[in-house]
A and B are shown apart, each in its own frame.
Chain A
Amino acid sequence: MKNKYSIFSLIKNSFTYHENWQKAWRDPEPKSSYDVVIVGGGGHGLATAYYLAKEHNLKNIAVVEKGWIGGGNTGRNTTIIRSNYLWDASAALYDHAIKIWENLSQELNFNVMFSQRGVLNLAHNQHDVRELKRRTHANRLNGIDCEWLDTKQVKEFCPIINCSPNIRYPVMGSTLQKRAGTARHDAVAWGYARGADSMGVDIIQNCEVKGIKRKGNTIEGLETTKGFIKTSKIGVAAAGHSSVIANMAGLKLPLESKPLQALVSEPIKPIIDTVVMSNAVHAYLSQSDKGELVIGAGTDSYVSYTQKGTHEIIEGTLKAILELYPIFSRLRMLRQWGGVVDICPDASPIVSKSSIKGLYFNCGWGTGGFKATPGSGHLFAHTIAKDEPHALNAAFNINRFVSGDLVDEHGAAAVAH
Protein backbone atom coordinates (compact mmCIF):
# COMPACT_ATOMS: atom_id res chain seq x y z
CA MET A 1 0.00 0.00 0.00
CA LYS A 2 1.21 3.44 -0.85
CA ASN A 3 1.72 6.12 1.77
CA LYS A 4 -0.67 8.98 1.19
CA TYR A 5 0.79 12.27 -0.01
CA SER A 6 -0.30 15.12 2.28
CA ILE A 7 1.00 18.19 4.08
CA PHE A 8 1.93 15.86 6.97
CA SER A 9 3.97 13.50 4.79
CA LEU A 10 5.72 16.58 3.36
CA ILE A 11 6.66 17.81 6.84
CA LYS A 12 7.66 14.33 8.00
CA ASN A 13 9.95 13.79 5.02
CA SER A 14 11.52 17.23 5.35
CA PHE A 15 13.18 16.03 8.58
CA THR A 16 15.17 13.48 6.56
CA TYR A 17 15.97 15.95 3.76
CA HIS A 18 13.43 14.28 1.46
CA GLU A 19 15.77 11.33 0.99
CA ASN A 20 13.42 8.64 2.29
CA TRP A 21 10.28 9.06 0.19
CA GLN A 22 8.67 5.77 -0.70
CA LYS A 23 9.15 4.83 -4.35
CA ALA A 24 6.08 5.88 -6.34
CA TRP A 25 6.11 2.61 -8.29
CA ARG A 26 8.10 -0.61 -8.35
CA ASP A 27 10.48 -1.68 -11.09
CA PRO A 28 9.48 -5.32 -11.61
CA GLU A 29 10.73 -7.91 -14.07
CA PRO A 30 7.96 -9.32 -16.24
CA LYS A 31 6.13 -12.43 -15.05
CA SER A 32 5.66 -15.27 -17.50
CA SER A 33 1.97 -14.51 -18.05
CA TYR A 34 -0.65 -11.83 -17.49
CA ASP A 35 -4.41 -11.51 -17.97
CA VAL A 36 -3.95 -8.26 -19.88
CA VAL A 37 -0.83 -6.57 -21.26
CA ILE A 38 -0.99 -2.89 -22.20
CA VAL A 39 1.57 -1.85 -24.82
CA GLY A 40 2.68 1.73 -24.20
CA GLY A 41 3.40 3.40 -20.87
CA GLY A 42 2.10 6.84 -21.71
CA GLY A 43 -0.87 8.54 -20.10
CA HIS A 44 -3.42 6.54 -22.11
CA GLY A 45 -1.81 3.16 -21.40
CA LEU A 46 -1.24 3.80 -17.70
CA ALA A 47 -4.78 5.17 -17.27
CA THR A 48 -6.12 2.04 -18.98
CA ALA A 49 -4.21 -0.22 -16.58
CA TYR A 50 -5.39 1.89 -13.63
CA TYR A 51 -9.08 1.58 -14.56
CA LEU A 52 -8.75 -2.12 -15.45
CA ALA A 53 -7.51 -2.74 -11.91
CA LYS A 54 -9.84 -0.30 -10.19
CA GLU A 55 -13.16 -0.77 -11.96
CA HIS A 56 -12.92 -4.20 -13.56
CA ASN A 57 -11.26 -6.05 -10.72
CA LEU A 58 -8.44 -7.41 -12.86
CA LYS A 59 -5.25 -7.81 -10.87
CA ASN A 60 -2.81 -9.55 -13.17
CA ILE A 61 -1.97 -6.65 -15.51
CA ALA A 62 1.26 -5.41 -17.05
CA VAL A 63 2.17 -2.24 -18.89
CA VAL A 64 5.18 -2.65 -21.19
CA GLU A 65 7.01 0.48 -22.29
CA LYS A 66 9.98 0.54 -24.65
CA GLY A 67 11.48 3.67 -23.07
CA TRP A 68 10.46 5.32 -19.82
CA ILE A 69 6.88 6.09 -18.80
CA GLY A 70 5.52 9.38 -20.07
CA GLY A 71 8.53 9.84 -22.35
CA GLY A 72 6.61 9.82 -25.62
CA ASN A 73 3.77 12.12 -26.59
CA THR A 74 2.59 12.38 -22.97
CA GLY A 75 5.71 14.39 -22.20
CA ARG A 76 5.77 16.23 -25.53
CA ASN A 77 2.36 17.83 -25.91
CA THR A 78 1.24 21.37 -25.05
CA THR A 79 -1.04 20.15 -22.22
CA ILE A 80 -4.25 21.74 -23.48
CA ILE A 81 -7.55 20.24 -22.30
CA ARG A 82 -10.93 21.14 -23.83
CA SER A 83 -14.06 19.42 -25.08
CA ASN A 84 -15.53 21.89 -27.60
CA TYR A 85 -15.82 19.39 -30.46
CA LEU A 86 -18.53 19.61 -33.10
CA TRP A 87 -20.23 16.22 -33.34
CA ASP A 88 -22.29 14.57 -30.59
CA ALA A 89 -20.04 11.51 -30.33
CA SER A 90 -16.85 13.57 -29.96
CA ALA A 91 -18.38 16.11 -27.59
CA ALA A 92 -19.53 13.27 -25.31
CA LEU A 93 -16.12 11.55 -25.54
CA TYR A 94 -14.00 14.59 -24.69
CA ASP A 95 -16.39 15.94 -22.07
CA HIS A 96 -16.32 12.55 -20.34
CA ALA A 97 -12.58 13.17 -19.96
CA ILE A 98 -13.01 16.71 -18.60
CA LYS A 99 -15.40 15.42 -15.93
CA ILE A 100 -12.73 12.95 -14.78
CA TRP A 101 -10.01 15.64 -14.96
CA GLU A 102 -12.01 17.78 -12.54
CA ASN A 103 -11.50 15.31 -9.68
CA LEU A 104 -8.36 13.55 -10.86
CA SER A 105 -5.88 15.04 -8.37
CA GLN A 106 -8.08 13.99 -5.45
CA GLU A 107 -8.73 10.55 -6.89
CA LEU A 108 -5.06 9.79 -7.59
CA ASN A 109 -3.73 11.59 -4.50
CA PHE A 110 -1.31 13.19 -6.95
CA ASN A 111 -1.47 16.83 -8.00
CA VAL A 112 -1.95 16.86 -11.76
CA MET A 113 -2.22 20.66 -11.60
CA PHE A 114 -5.44 20.75 -13.63
CA SER A 115 -6.10 24.43 -14.21
CA GLN A 116 -9.44 25.49 -15.74
CA ARG A 117 -8.10 28.75 -17.10
CA GLY A 118 -10.28 28.75 -20.21
CA VAL A 119 -9.48 28.19 -23.88
CA LEU A 120 -10.12 30.72 -26.65
CA ASN A 121 -10.45 29.60 -30.28
CA LEU A 122 -9.99 32.71 -32.44
CA ALA A 123 -11.83 33.51 -35.67
CA HIS A 124 -9.95 35.42 -38.37
CA ASN A 125 -12.38 35.52 -41.28
CA GLN A 126 -16.09 35.27 -42.03
CA HIS A 127 -15.91 31.52 -42.53
CA ASP A 128 -14.23 31.06 -39.13
CA VAL A 129 -16.93 33.21 -37.52
CA ARG A 130 -19.72 31.09 -38.99
CA GLU A 131 -18.03 27.78 -38.21
CA LEU A 132 -17.14 28.72 -34.65
CA LYS A 133 -20.62 30.11 -33.93
CA ARG A 134 -22.05 26.86 -35.26
CA ARG A 135 -19.71 24.95 -32.96
CA THR A 136 -20.75 27.16 -30.01
CA HIS A 137 -24.40 26.24 -30.61
CA ALA A 138 -23.58 22.55 -31.12
CA ASN A 139 -21.59 22.51 -27.86
CA ARG A 140 -24.43 24.14 -25.92
CA LEU A 141 -26.93 21.61 -27.26
CA ASN A 142 -24.60 18.92 -25.93
CA GLY A 143 -24.42 20.54 -22.50
CA ILE A 144 -20.85 21.81 -22.95
CA ASP A 145 -20.09 25.31 -21.73
CA CYS A 146 -19.14 27.48 -24.67
CA GLU A 147 -19.65 31.15 -25.37
CA TRP A 148 -19.04 33.51 -28.25
CA LEU A 149 -16.92 36.62 -27.69
CA ASP A 150 -16.78 39.54 -30.14
CA THR A 151 -13.49 41.32 -30.80
CA LYS A 152 -13.96 43.80 -27.94
CA GLN A 153 -14.68 40.97 -25.47
CA VAL A 154 -11.61 39.06 -26.69
CA LYS A 155 -9.47 42.12 -25.96
CA GLU A 156 -11.00 42.39 -22.47
CA PHE A 157 -10.50 38.69 -21.74
CA CYS A 158 -6.91 38.54 -23.03
CA PRO A 159 -5.47 42.06 -23.36
CA ILE A 160 -2.15 41.10 -24.99
CA ILE A 161 -3.80 39.90 -28.21
CA ASN A 162 -3.36 42.36 -31.06
CA CYS A 163 -6.98 43.14 -32.01
CA SER A 164 -6.13 45.82 -34.57
CA PRO A 165 -8.31 45.56 -37.70
CA ASN A 166 -5.19 46.30 -39.76
CA ILE A 167 -3.30 43.04 -39.27
CA ARG A 168 -3.26 40.43 -42.05
CA TYR A 169 -5.70 38.12 -40.27
CA PRO A 170 -7.65 40.34 -37.83
CA VAL A 171 -9.36 38.85 -34.77
CA MET A 172 -13.08 38.82 -35.61
CA GLY A 173 -14.25 37.01 -32.48
CA SER A 174 -13.63 33.87 -30.52
CA THR A 175 -15.22 30.96 -28.74
CA LEU A 176 -14.48 30.56 -25.04
CA GLN A 177 -14.76 27.36 -23.05
CA LYS A 178 -14.21 28.27 -19.40
CA ARG A 179 -14.01 24.69 -18.09
CA ALA A 180 -11.13 24.03 -20.46
CA GLY A 181 -7.51 24.62 -19.51
CA THR A 182 -4.23 22.82 -18.93
CA ALA A 183 -2.68 20.15 -16.67
CA ARG A 184 0.84 19.02 -15.80
CA HIS A 185 1.52 16.31 -18.39
CA ASP A 186 4.22 14.37 -16.50
CA ALA A 187 2.11 14.32 -13.35
CA VAL A 188 -0.72 12.60 -15.21
CA ALA A 189 1.57 9.71 -16.23
CA TRP A 190 3.17 9.53 -12.79
CA GLY A 191 -0.14 9.76 -10.92
CA TYR A 192 -1.71 6.96 -12.94
CA ALA A 193 1.48 4.88 -12.68
CA ARG A 194 1.53 5.24 -8.90
CA GLY A 195 -2.18 4.45 -8.65
CA ALA A 196 -1.95 1.42 -10.94
CA ASP A 197 1.19 0.12 -9.23
CA SER A 198 -0.45 0.29 -5.81
CA MET A 199 -3.19 -2.01 -7.12
CA GLY A 200 -0.59 -4.53 -8.31
CA VAL A 201 -0.10 -3.54 -11.95
CA ASP A 202 3.45 -4.33 -13.15
CA ILE A 203 4.91 -1.34 -14.99
CA ILE A 204 7.82 -2.69 -17.04
CA GLN A 205 10.04 -0.03 -18.56
CA ASN A 206 12.80 -0.51 -21.16
CA CYS A 207 10.80 -3.41 -22.55
CA GLU A 208 10.14 -3.14 -26.27
CA VAL A 209 7.58 -5.30 -28.05
CA LYS A 210 9.22 -7.23 -30.89
CA GLY A 211 6.42 -9.46 -32.06
CA ILE A 212 2.87 -10.60 -31.43
CA LYS A 213 2.17 -14.32 -31.27
CA ARG A 214 -1.22 -15.47 -32.41
CA LYS A 215 -2.80 -18.84 -33.00
CA GLY A 216 -5.27 -18.49 -35.83
CA ASN A 217 -7.34 -15.51 -34.85
CA THR A 218 -6.51 -15.54 -31.15
CA ILE A 219 -3.76 -13.76 -29.22
CA GLU A 220 -1.24 -15.99 -27.40
CA GLY A 221 1.29 -13.47 -26.17
CA LEU A 222 4.02 -11.08 -27.15
CA GLU A 223 7.74 -11.23 -27.76
CA THR A 224 9.62 -8.48 -25.97
CA THR A 225 13.23 -7.51 -25.34
CA LYS A 226 12.70 -9.02 -21.87
CA GLY A 227 11.42 -12.32 -23.20
CA PHE A 228 8.09 -13.87 -24.12
CA ILE A 229 5.01 -12.81 -22.15
CA LYS A 230 1.94 -15.02 -22.35
CA THR A 231 -1.42 -13.26 -22.44
CA SER A 232 -4.80 -13.55 -24.12
CA LYS A 233 -5.53 -9.81 -24.21
CA ILE A 234 -3.32 -7.03 -25.55
CA GLY A 235 -4.35 -3.38 -25.40
CA VAL A 236 -2.23 -1.25 -27.71
CA ALA A 237 -1.84 2.38 -26.63
CA ALA A 238 1.33 3.09 -28.60
CA ALA A 239 0.35 6.42 -30.23
CA GLY A 240 2.65 7.12 -33.21
CA HIS A 241 3.90 3.52 -33.21
CA SER A 242 0.43 1.89 -33.28
CA SER A 243 0.86 0.85 -36.92
CA VAL A 244 4.22 -0.76 -36.11
CA ILE A 245 2.53 -2.96 -33.48
CA ALA A 246 -0.45 -3.64 -35.77
CA ASN A 247 1.90 -4.74 -38.57
CA MET A 248 3.43 -7.30 -36.16
CA ALA A 249 -0.03 -8.87 -35.88
CA GLY A 250 -0.52 -8.72 -39.64
CA LEU A 251 -3.02 -5.84 -39.52
CA LYS A 252 -3.11 -2.47 -41.22
CA LEU A 253 -4.64 0.59 -39.57
CA PRO A 254 -6.04 3.74 -41.19
CA LEU A 255 -3.24 5.83 -39.70
CA GLU A 256 -0.36 8.01 -40.81
CA SER A 257 2.36 8.93 -38.30
CA LYS A 258 3.74 12.43 -38.66
CA PRO A 259 6.01 14.73 -36.68
CA LEU A 260 4.29 17.42 -34.60
CA GLN A 261 6.40 20.12 -32.99
CA ALA A 262 6.18 22.34 -29.95
CA LEU A 263 8.49 24.87 -28.38
CA VAL A 264 8.87 26.93 -25.21
CA SER A 265 10.28 30.40 -24.66
CA GLU A 266 12.58 31.58 -21.93
CA PRO A 267 10.60 32.03 -18.69
CA ILE A 268 8.93 35.40 -18.13
CA LYS A 269 6.62 36.87 -15.48
CA PRO A 270 2.91 35.93 -15.71
CA ILE A 271 1.47 37.61 -18.79
CA ILE A 272 -1.24 35.32 -20.14
CA ASP A 273 -3.70 33.57 -17.81
CA THR A 274 -5.59 31.57 -20.41
CA VAL A 275 -4.99 29.40 -23.49
CA VAL A 276 -5.36 30.99 -26.92
CA MET A 277 -5.67 28.85 -30.03
CA SER A 278 -5.98 29.96 -33.60
CA ASN A 279 -6.61 27.41 -36.34
CA ALA A 280 -6.57 29.77 -39.28
CA VAL A 281 -3.09 31.20 -38.71
CA HIS A 282 -1.94 28.15 -36.78
CA ALA A 283 -0.70 29.62 -33.55
CA TYR A 284 -1.54 28.50 -30.08
CA LEU A 285 -0.05 29.41 -26.80
CA SER A 286 -0.33 29.33 -23.04
CA GLN A 287 2.05 30.01 -20.16
CA SER A 288 3.44 27.31 -17.89
CA ASP A 289 3.76 27.74 -14.15
CA LYS A 290 7.51 28.11 -14.68
CA GLY A 291 6.77 31.15 -16.83
CA GLU A 292 7.67 29.70 -20.22
CA LEU A 293 5.34 30.37 -23.11
CA VAL A 294 4.25 26.98 -24.42
CA ILE A 295 3.73 27.16 -28.18
CA GLY A 296 2.24 24.48 -30.38
CA ALA A 297 3.37 24.29 -33.99
CA GLY A 298 1.95 22.18 -36.80
CA THR A 299 2.53 18.75 -38.29
CA ASP A 300 4.77 18.07 -41.24
CA SER A 301 2.97 16.63 -44.23
CA TYR A 302 4.95 13.39 -44.60
CA VAL A 303 5.15 10.16 -42.62
CA SER A 304 8.15 10.15 -40.29
CA TYR A 305 9.08 8.53 -36.98
CA THR A 306 12.01 10.87 -36.33
CA GLN A 307 10.48 12.90 -33.44
CA LYS A 308 11.72 16.07 -35.12
CA GLY A 309 10.01 18.30 -37.63
CA THR A 310 11.15 20.85 -40.13
CA HIS A 311 12.18 24.40 -39.41
CA GLU A 312 9.66 25.97 -41.76
CA ILE A 313 6.80 24.73 -39.56
CA ILE A 314 8.23 26.59 -36.57
CA GLU A 315 8.87 29.66 -38.69
CA GLY A 316 5.24 29.72 -39.83
CA THR A 317 3.93 29.37 -36.28
CA LEU A 318 6.22 32.06 -34.87
CA LYS A 319 5.26 34.49 -37.64
CA ALA A 320 1.63 34.08 -36.65
CA ILE A 321 2.45 34.38 -32.93
CA LEU A 322 4.31 37.62 -33.54
CA GLU A 323 1.46 39.15 -35.50
CA LEU A 324 -1.06 38.26 -32.81
CA TYR A 325 1.28 39.18 -29.93
CA PRO A 326 3.79 41.87 -31.02
CA ILE A 327 4.71 42.15 -27.32
CA PHE A 328 6.75 38.92 -27.69
CA SER A 329 8.93 40.17 -30.55
CA ARG A 330 12.16 40.12 -28.54
CA LEU A 331 11.46 36.94 -26.61
CA ARG A 332 13.92 34.11 -27.15
CA MET A 333 12.88 30.50 -27.63
CA LEU A 334 14.46 28.07 -25.21
CA ARG A 335 13.68 24.56 -26.43
CA GLN A 336 12.01 22.88 -29.39
CA TRP A 337 11.03 19.24 -29.82
CA GLY A 338 8.83 16.90 -31.83
CA GLY A 339 6.58 13.93 -31.22
CA VAL A 340 5.18 11.33 -33.61
CA VAL A 341 1.40 11.60 -33.87
CA ASP A 342 -0.89 8.98 -35.43
CA ILE A 343 -3.55 10.67 -37.49
CA CYS A 344 -6.81 9.11 -38.71
CA PRO A 345 -8.38 10.25 -41.99
CA ASP A 346 -11.31 11.77 -40.05
CA ALA A 347 -9.18 13.32 -37.27
CA SER A 348 -11.00 11.22 -34.66
CA PRO A 349 -9.52 8.45 -32.51
CA ILE A 350 -9.94 4.68 -32.62
CA VAL A 351 -10.82 3.00 -29.30
CA SER A 352 -11.86 -0.39 -30.49
CA LYS A 353 -11.65 -4.14 -30.78
CA SER A 354 -9.89 -5.41 -33.87
CA SER A 355 -10.45 -8.32 -36.24
CA ILE A 356 -8.14 -10.43 -34.05
CA LYS A 357 -9.69 -11.76 -30.85
CA GLY A 358 -7.97 -10.29 -27.79
CA LEU A 359 -6.22 -7.47 -29.64
CA TYR A 360 -7.51 -3.96 -28.89
CA PHE A 361 -6.40 -0.58 -30.20
CA ASN A 362 -6.48 2.85 -28.62
CA CYS A 363 -4.91 5.06 -31.27
CA GLY A 364 -5.47 7.76 -33.85
CA TRP A 365 -5.66 10.53 -31.27
CA GLY A 366 -3.50 12.50 -33.66
CA THR A 367 -2.59 15.97 -32.54
CA GLY A 368 -4.92 16.14 -29.53
CA GLY A 369 -4.77 13.03 -27.37
CA PHE A 370 -3.54 14.50 -24.11
CA LYS A 371 -6.85 16.16 -23.25
CA ALA A 372 -8.61 12.82 -23.44
CA THR A 373 -6.16 10.81 -21.31
CA PRO A 374 -8.42 9.94 -18.32
CA GLY A 375 -11.54 9.35 -20.45
CA SER A 376 -9.59 7.37 -23.03
CA GLY A 377 -8.11 5.07 -20.36
CA HIS A 378 -11.49 4.67 -18.69
CA LEU A 379 -13.29 3.67 -21.91
CA PHE A 380 -10.45 1.53 -23.25
CA ALA A 381 -10.38 -0.42 -19.96
CA HIS A 382 -14.11 -1.04 -20.33
CA THR A 383 -13.64 -2.19 -23.95
CA ILE A 384 -10.88 -4.64 -22.99
CA ALA A 385 -12.55 -6.00 -19.85
CA LYS A 386 -16.02 -6.48 -21.37
CA ASP A 387 -14.83 -7.27 -24.91
CA GLU A 388 -17.29 -4.67 -26.16
CA PRO A 389 -17.18 -0.88 -26.35
CA HIS A 390 -18.69 1.48 -23.80
CA ALA A 391 -21.57 3.59 -25.20
CA LEU A 392 -19.22 6.60 -25.29
CA ASN A 393 -16.60 4.99 -27.55
CA ALA A 394 -18.91 2.84 -29.69
CA ALA A 395 -18.72 5.37 -32.53
CA PHE A 396 -14.92 5.27 -32.46
CA ASN A 397 -14.52 1.72 -33.76
CA ILE A 398 -12.23 0.62 -36.60
CA ASN A 399 -15.21 -0.52 -38.68
CA ARG A 400 -16.29 3.04 -39.33
CA PHE A 401 -13.75 3.10 -42.16
CA VAL A 402 -15.65 0.24 -43.78
CA SER A 403 -19.19 1.44 -43.04
CA GLY A 404 -18.39 5.06 -43.90
CA ASP A 405 -19.78 6.31 -40.58
CA LEU A 406 -16.84 8.68 -40.02
CA VAL A 407 -16.64 11.29 -37.24
CA ASP A 408 -15.17 14.21 -39.15
CA GLU A 409 -13.51 16.51 -36.63
CA HIS A 410 -10.93 18.28 -38.79
CA GLY A 411 -12.54 21.59 -37.86
CA ALA A 412 -12.28 21.11 -34.11
CA ALA A 413 -8.95 19.27 -34.09
CA ALA A 414 -7.10 22.62 -34.03
CA VAL A 415 -3.90 21.42 -35.70
CA ALA A 416 -4.44 21.44 -39.44
CA HIS A 417 -3.68 18.05 -40.94
Chain B
Amino acid sequence: MFIIKCPYCGDREHSEFSYGGEAHITRPKQPTELSDDQWAEYLFMRKNIKGLQYERWNHAHGCRRWFNMARDTSNDKIHSVYKMGEKPTK
Protein backbone atom coordinates (compact mmCIF):
# COMPACT_ATOMS: atom_id res chain seq x y z
CA MET B 1 0.00 0.00 0.00
CA PHE B 2 1.36 3.40 -0.85
CA ILE B 3 -0.04 6.92 -0.95
CA ILE B 4 -0.20 8.77 -4.25
CA LYS B 5 -0.49 12.54 -4.39
CA CYS B 6 -2.98 13.24 -7.17
CA PRO B 7 -2.07 16.66 -8.67
CA TYR B 8 -5.77 17.59 -8.50
CA CYS B 9 -7.02 15.91 -5.29
CA GLY B 10 -3.95 15.52 -3.03
CA ASP B 11 -2.92 12.46 -1.03
CA ARG B 12 -5.04 9.35 -1.62
CA GLU B 13 -4.55 5.61 -1.16
CA HIS B 14 -3.11 3.93 -4.24
CA SER B 15 -6.16 1.63 -4.52
CA GLU B 16 -8.13 4.65 -5.84
CA PHE B 17 -5.84 4.79 -8.86
CA SER B 18 -5.32 2.65 -11.91
CA TYR B 19 -1.96 2.13 -13.57
CA GLY B 20 -1.48 3.23 -17.17
CA GLY B 21 1.96 1.86 -17.97
CA GLU B 22 5.15 3.51 -19.17
CA ALA B 23 4.78 7.22 -19.92
CA HIS B 24 6.04 9.38 -22.78
CA ILE B 25 5.47 6.76 -25.49
CA THR B 26 4.28 8.91 -28.36
CA ARG B 27 1.60 7.60 -30.66
CA PRO B 28 3.01 7.44 -34.21
CA LYS B 29 2.15 10.55 -36.21
CA GLN B 30 1.87 8.63 -39.49
CA PRO B 31 0.41 5.23 -38.55
CA THR B 32 -0.03 4.15 -42.16
CA GLU B 33 3.69 4.49 -42.84
CA LEU B 34 4.86 2.29 -39.97
CA SER B 35 6.64 -1.02 -40.57
CA ASP B 36 5.65 -4.12 -38.58
CA ASP B 37 8.79 -3.70 -36.46
CA GLN B 38 7.88 -0.13 -35.60
CA TRP B 39 4.33 -1.17 -34.68
CA ALA B 40 5.69 -3.91 -32.41
CA GLU B 41 8.02 -1.38 -30.79
CA TYR B 42 5.16 1.05 -30.15
CA LEU B 43 2.57 -1.50 -29.03
CA PHE B 44 4.49 -4.15 -27.11
CA MET B 45 8.14 -3.40 -26.35
CA ARG B 46 8.70 -1.88 -22.91
CA LYS B 47 11.75 -0.80 -20.93
CA ASN B 48 10.25 -2.45 -17.83
CA ILE B 49 12.84 -0.59 -15.78
CA LYS B 50 14.11 -1.65 -12.38
CA GLY B 51 14.73 1.78 -10.93
CA LEU B 52 13.31 5.20 -11.71
CA GLN B 53 10.40 4.86 -14.11
CA TYR B 54 8.16 7.51 -15.65
CA GLU B 55 4.62 6.20 -15.80
CA ARG B 56 0.98 7.17 -16.24
CA TRP B 57 -1.72 6.84 -13.60
CA ASN B 58 -5.43 7.57 -13.60
CA HIS B 59 -7.35 8.65 -10.49
CA ALA B 60 -10.08 6.16 -11.43
CA HIS B 61 -12.06 6.37 -8.18
CA GLY B 62 -11.57 10.11 -7.74
CA CYS B 63 -11.34 12.94 -10.24
CA ARG B 64 -10.79 10.41 -13.08
CA ARG B 65 -7.99 12.51 -14.52
CA TRP B 66 -4.72 11.19 -15.94
CA PHE B 67 -1.32 12.33 -14.73
CA ASN B 68 2.33 11.24 -14.74
CA MET B 69 4.48 9.94 -11.95
CA ALA B 70 8.20 9.21 -11.42
CA ARG B 71 8.52 6.14 -9.20
CA ASP B 72 11.41 3.85 -8.31
CA THR B 73 10.18 0.36 -9.19
CA SER B 74 12.83 -1.26 -6.99
CA ASN B 75 11.30 0.15 -3.79
CA ASP B 76 8.00 1.81 -4.86
CA LYS B 77 9.21 5.21 -3.66
CA ILE B 78 7.48 8.06 -5.51
CA HIS B 79 9.85 10.84 -6.57
CA SER B 80 7.49 13.25 -8.26
CA VAL B 81 4.01 13.66 -9.71
CA TYR B 82 3.35 15.93 -12.68
CA LYS B 83 0.47 16.75 -14.98
CA MET B 84 -0.05 15.44 -18.49
CA GLY B 85 1.94 17.43 -21.01
CA GLU B 86 4.47 18.55 -18.41
CA LYS B 87 8.08 17.47 -18.25
CA PRO B 88 9.30 15.42 -15.27
CA THR B 89 10.91 17.60 -12.59
CA LYS B 90 13.61 15.04 -11.97
A positions within 8 Å CB-CB of B: 241, 243-244, 247, 252-257, 301-306, 310-312, 342, 345, 401-404
Contact partner of A310 (CB less than 8 A), chosen from B1, B40, B50, B53, is B1
Contact A252 B37 (CB under 8 A): no
Contact B73 A304 (CB under 8 A): yes
**Measured CA separation A304–B43 after assembly (Å):** 20
**Measured CA separation A403–B44 after assembly (Å):** 12
Contact B47 A402 (CB under 8 A): no
Contact A306 B50 (CB under 8 A): no
**Measured CA separation A55–B53 after assembly (Å):** 42
Contact B1 A301 (CB under 8 A): no
Contact B75 A247 (CB under 8 A): no
**Measured CA separation A310–B17 after assembly (Å):** 13
26 A-B residue pairings within 8 Å (CB atoms): A243-B49, A244-B48, A252-B41, A253-B45, A253-B46, A254-B40, A254-B44, A254-B45, A254-B46, A255-B46, A256-B21, A256-B46, A257-B73, A301-B18, A305-B50, A305-B73, A305-B74, A310-B14, A310-B15, A311-B1, A312-B15, A401-B40, A401-B43, A401-B44, A402-B36, A402-B39
Query: From residue B78, how far is it (CB to closest CB) to chain A in Å?
Result: 11
In the complex, the number of residue pairs spanning A and B with C-beta atoms less than 8 Å apart equals 70
Contact partner of A243 (CB less than 8 A), chosen from B15, B47, B74, B75, is B47
Query: From residue A189, how far is it (CB to closest CB) to chain B in Å?
Result: 23
Known: A402-B36, A402-B40. A306 touches B45 (CB 8 A): no
Contact B48 A257 (CB under 8 A): yes
B positions within 8 Å CB-CB of A: 1, 14-15, 18-19, 21-22, 36-37, 39-41, 43-50, 53, 55, 73-76
* B44 / chain A contacts, CB cutoff of 8 Å: 254, 345, 401
**Measured CA separation A254–B75 after assembly (Å):** 22
* B46 / chain A contacts, CB cutoff of 8 Å: 243, 252-256
For B36, the closest partner residue in chain A by CB is A402
* B40 / chain A contacts, CB cutoff of 8 Å: 254, 401-402
* A302 / chain B contacts, CB cutoff of 8 Å: 19, 55
Contact partner of A401 (CB less than 8 A), chosen from B18, B19, B21, B45, is B45
* B18 / chain A contacts, CB cutoff of 8 Å: 301
* A305 / chain B contacts, CB cutoff of 8 Å: 50, 73-74
Query: From residue A129, how far is it (CB to closest CB) to chain B in Å?
Result: 29
**Measured CA separation A254–B45 after assembly (Å):** 4
**Measured CA separation A311–B14 after assembly (Å):** 11
For A255, the closest partner residue in chain B by CB is B48
* B50 / chain A contacts, CB cutoff of 8 Å: 241, 243-244, 257, 305
- B14, B37, B48, B50 — most chain A CB neighbours (10 Å): B48
**Measured CA separation A306–B72 after assembly (Å):** 10
* B39 / chain A contacts, CB cutoff of 8 Å: 402
For A315, the closest partner residue in chain B by CB is B15
**Measured CA separation A302–B40 after assembly (Å):** 21
Query: From residue A363, how far is it (CB to closest CB) to chain B in Å?
Result: 11
